[in-house]
Amino acid sequence: MVNQTETIVKKRDDTFDIIKGICILLMIVGHCPVSILGIIIYPFHMPVFFFIAGYFFKQNGFWKCASSGIRRLLIPFACVYIFCIAIAYVIEYFGWFSKIVMSYIEYKNPVECALLMSKGLPVWFLVSLFWCRMLFFLVRKIRNDVVIFAVVIIAAILAVNLYNYFKLPLMFYPSVAALGFFVLGHVLASRNIFSKEKKWRVFPLLLCAWVICISTGKSLVLGRCEYSGFYILDILGALGIFVSLYLVVKNCSTKSISWNILKWCGVNSLIILCVHSVELNFVDFNAVKRWLLPVFFPYELYIAIAFRLAFDMVVTYALIKSRFVKRYIFAQYG
């Protein structure tokens, strides 16, 4: 697998950015307290990011990969957590809590928050992706694809079960489980699956796995190792949705404003993730919905979701205009 991958030049197109844009917006919508949305969206919206990360993974040296991961993933993660803990302390100290402004980050135990993520924020994904990149350097030394999948799946199932008994810091167990999605994305690239039309006949069958998972009524939550389809069905169902999104976007994308907005969201998905993490921590969505109720009933839920999407995108747009932010926090934008 490794030798084949190293000889393939993966040319990135707008399709993957648009898919990322769709999924990052679905992530924001999924964090709104509407249970049915979570059940439908959660089985694929974050797994797709692991698929794409594995698809575009570059075979660089271990230390170069570690250095890049620290700059591009861990520094933004640390900045978000430090900022949230600091603002939570200020809010508590001055008593600025209101019906809308709140914080569930426990500033009194910042080390526990950041390491164990007992009060997790969506930026857990950045730490998990960092682990996936590092762990992949271990499994990629195996030359046999079957053995690779066997090792990854066994390790993932063990991690999912061990998570219920004791936790390791910095999302290690959820990251081991997410490695399955990452490796599968890398295999899609190494086998050049997207260019083989006959392979598409198989992928609609994978959607059956997604349907089975959502029919359980449970949400897949990668950050808490909660899998509704015993992991195997979860990974197959997420793959089916990922490929379906690729087919739809690849065949339907245009130069319209909506597609350009989705592409922009995909390109800046990391910043949107960080902005949403802060917003999710401090803004009580239910309070906003109740505040809108007298004026916008019965559409207050949809208006609140639109406000949340617009707020995160506007703040992201403002941040990418800052040279300091792009250079010192989000290194990939510098």
Domain boundaries, the chain: 2-333
Residues 156-179: pLDDT tens digits? 999 999 988 888 888 899 999 999
Say what the pTM is.
0.92
pLDDT grade for 213, boundaries at 50, 70 and 90: confident
pLDDT at 8: 42
Three-class secondary structure of residue 29 per DSSP: helix
Q: Considering Cα of 212, then 218, then 219, then 222, what sign does the dihedral take? A: negative
Closest among 312, 233, 321 to 270, alpha carbons compared: 312
pLDDT single digits (tens) 12-54: 578 999 999 999 999 999 998 876 788 889 999 999 999 999 9
More confident residue, 167 or 88: 88
d(Cα 188, Cα 294) in Å, to the nearest integer? 50
Average pLDDT over every residue of 191-204: 73
Tokens, residue 63: 């230390």
Residue 324 and residue 135: Cα distance in Å, rounded?
A: 31
- Give me the pLDDT at residue 312, please: 97
Provide the token pair at 189.
């690239």
Q: Assess contact for 231 and 156: CB atoms under 8 A.
A: yes
Sign of CA dihedral 69, 72, 77, 82: positive
Instruction: Give the angle subtended at the CA of 25 by the CAs of 87 and 102, to the nearest 5°.
Output: 25
Tokens of 136: 């992949």
SS3 content of the chain, % helix, strand, coil (to 5): 75, 0, 25
What's the Cα-to-Cα distance from 154 to each of 151, 182, 232, 260, 323, rounded to whole Å? 5, 15, 11, 41, 44
* CB neighbour list of residue 117: distance below 8 Å, 6 or more residues apart: 124, 127, 170, 171, 223
In whole angstroms, give the CA distance from residue 279 to residue 102. 10
Distance CA 262, CA 196 (A): 26
pLDDT value of residue 333:
57
Give the CA distances from residue 152 to residues 16, 77, 142, 184, 237, in Å, rounded to whole numbers and listed in that order: 25, 26, 11, 10, 17
How much is the pLDDT for 152? Answer: 92
Sign of CA dihedral 110, 115, 120, 121: positive
Q: Which of 313, 314, 288, 283 is nearest to 302 (CA)?
A: 288
Query: Is 79's pLDDT higher than 70?
Result: yes
Using CA atoms, how far apart are residues 226 and 280, in angstroms rounded to an integer?
21
CA dist 28 → 38, 41, 42, 276, 333 (Å): 10, 10, 11, 7, 22
Gap between the Cα atoms of 142 and 152, Å rounded: 11
